Chains A and B, each alone.
Chain A
Amino acid sequence: MTSLLAASALLKMFYSSLLAGVGVSAVFSAAVYGAIRSSDMRRAGRGGAAVAYAALAAAGLLLSAAAIVYGLVLVAHKS
């Protein structure tokens, strides 16, 4: 029973950190991509595309921040 609990905790650490680490990184990369493309489009005079890329950047930033806050709340709540 103790071994099962230990394995379950280890598995939880494994998948939650892998998912969170890769997920936040991917979403933040999308935000960087959106911000740079938005700036490029604005300079090229393509207002509509600039707004769409800016929205991608904002969504990426918001999602990254939300994932971090959610993670911290989970750690604090379970301890």
Chain B
Amino acid sequence: MSGDIILVIVVGTALAFDFTNGFHDTANVVATSISTRATSPASAVAVASLLNFAGAFISLKVAATVGKGFVSSHAITTTVVFAGLVGAISWNLITWYLGLPSSSSHALIGGLVGSAIAAQGFDAVNGHGLLSKLIVPAIVAPLVAFSAAGISILLAYRIVGKLRPGPVSRGFRLGELASGGLLALSHGTNDAQKTMGVITLALIANGSIPAEGFHVPDWVVISAASAIALGTFTGGWRIIRTMGTRIIDMDPAQGFAAQGAGATVILAASSVGYPLSTTHVISGGIMGAGAAKRFSAVRWGVAGDIVTAWVLTLPAAGIFAAVVYGISRLFGTGAVGPLVVTIAMMAGLALLFARRIQEAAPAPSAQ
């Protein structure tokens, strides 16, 4: 009974994480289209959320990697998964509050690893899996996106460079509708699967489904797809501003190149099961498209802040998760600990949003 209560809390928390993932990553998907005026913010966000939903049904390889690749199965309990999720959500909200586009995916995996270490020690971590399926792809993928976007924009400028800029911009704005759509689809494909992997992991730990074969139930696929789509629809405007204009001021051809490079890297990674950070990849694409045109066009200081947030994500989410695991265990192995943490987290969230609304409200005019 106690296990089932924790499972319900874990599934709810995982879907909440998926929602914050979509909310946080809306910027990655729509910022370039909006900043180059290829589409209006409202329609970009609406289309992105629909394509996020559709993308979640394309592949399940990333879910299997998240479920089996990083933490050994004997270390997984529903409380470990719960603590990992809360650690990831906490880090996501902090970086959202500060307007930093850090990686939700790395927060999730960092959280899982941190809580598994807190529960079972360092033996619980599959170091080889972490290195070969997470850390190396995390370094390589943004560099590939950077190179692909850079080469693409150089080629594009070579092909259309002597034509009148007005019609060229209109042409690439049309192209951005397709590349932005593809990016949204690829985002759903890679990111929604991470939540599917975590929920499936919790179901296995609870004995609800067999561990053999790692099968993701249909209801998990549909609910994860819905949560990420809803989160994307709600949007994260603070980060959209950072991604869309603060790294570089883009023209439509650069937006097209950055989105196209980002989408192809994420789709290629999904096909081999790498849980990439869409934030890393699209930032790499944007920087590549900017640097190829003019190296100094990229605001490297902002790019540096983003890199700092990336580097901090795995350990920070891990530490948060380890602390949450410790707090949960103060109340024993039952459902009380996760319940107390969930209530505390809801209260913290309410406070955070109240403060955000207060900050956003216009100051009263002087009489």
Residues facing A in B249-279 (CB within 8 A) are 253, 256-257, 260-261, 263-265, 267-274
- State in angstroms the CA–CA spacing of A65 and B263 once bound together: 14
Q: Tell whether A36 pairs with B60 under 8 Å between CB atoms, given A17-B265, A21-B148, A28-B256.
A: no
A50 to B58, CA, bound (A): 40
Tell me if A32 and B152 are in contact (CB < 8 A). Answer: no
Residues in A neighbouring B211, C-beta threshold 8 A = none
Q: How large is the interface on B (under 10, 10 to 19, 20 to 34, 35 or more residues)?
A: 35 or more
Please, which residue of chain B has its CB at the minimum distance from the CB of A20? B264
Q: Name the residue on A nearest B156 (C-beta).
A: A29
In the assembled complex, the Cα of A54 lies from the Cα of B178 at a distance in Å of 20
Q: Is the CB of B59 within 8 A of A21?
A: no
Interface positions of B from 169 to 204, Cβ below 8 Å from A: 171-172, 175, 178, 182, 185, 189
Q: Which residue of A lies closest to B193 (CB)?
A: A79
Cβ-neighbour of B168 out of A10, A36, A75, A79 (below 8 A): A36
A56-79 contact mask (Cβ, 8 Å, vs B): 1 or 0: 000000001100100110111011
A22–B274 Cα distance when bound, in Å, is: 21
- Asked whether A22 lies within 8 Å of B163 as measured between CB atoms, the reply is no
Q: Is B366 an interface residue (CB 8 A)?
A: no
Q: Are B271 and A78 in contact (CB under 8 A)?
A: yes
> Is residue B330 within 8 Å, beta carbon to beta carbon, of the partner chain?
no
B160 and A18 within 8 A (CB): no
Q: Is residue B360 contacting chain A, with contact meaning CB distance below 8 A?
A: no
CB <8 Å contact, B268 and A33:
no
B352 interface contact, C-beta 8 A: no
Chain A contacts for B172, CB-based, 8 A = 32
> Which partner residue on chain B sits nearest A73 by CB separation?
B58
Give the Cβ gap from B359 to chain A, nearest Cβ, in Å: 39
* Contact in complex: B270, A32 (CB < 8 Å): no
CA distance A76 to B168 in the complex (A): 33
A21→B164 CA distance, assembly (Å): 25
Tell which of B70-78, B139-147, B298-306, B335-343 binds the partner: B139-147
Given A18-B144, A32-B171, 16 additional A-B pairs, CB 8 A = A3-B132, A10-B132, A10-B140, A13-B140, A13-B141, A17-B144, A17-B267, A17-B269, A21-B145, A21-B260, A21-B265, A25-B260, A26-B156, A28-B256, A64-B178, A79-B271
**A–B pairs, 26, beta carbons within 8 Å:** A3-B132, A6-B136, A9-B274, A10-B132, A12-B272, A13-B140, A17-B267, A18-B147, A21-B260, A21-B263, A21-B265, A22-B155, A25-B256, A25-B257, A26-B155, A28-B175, A29-B159, A32-B160, A39-B167, A68-B178, A68-B182, A72-B185, A75-B267, A78-B271, A79-B59, A79-B270
Which residues of B come within 8 Å of A, CB atoms?
A: 58-61, 128, 132-133, 136-137, 140-141, 144-145, 147-149, 151-153, 155-156, 159-160, 163-164, 167-168, 171-172, 175, 178, 182, 185, 189, 253, 256-257, 260-261, 263-265, 267-274
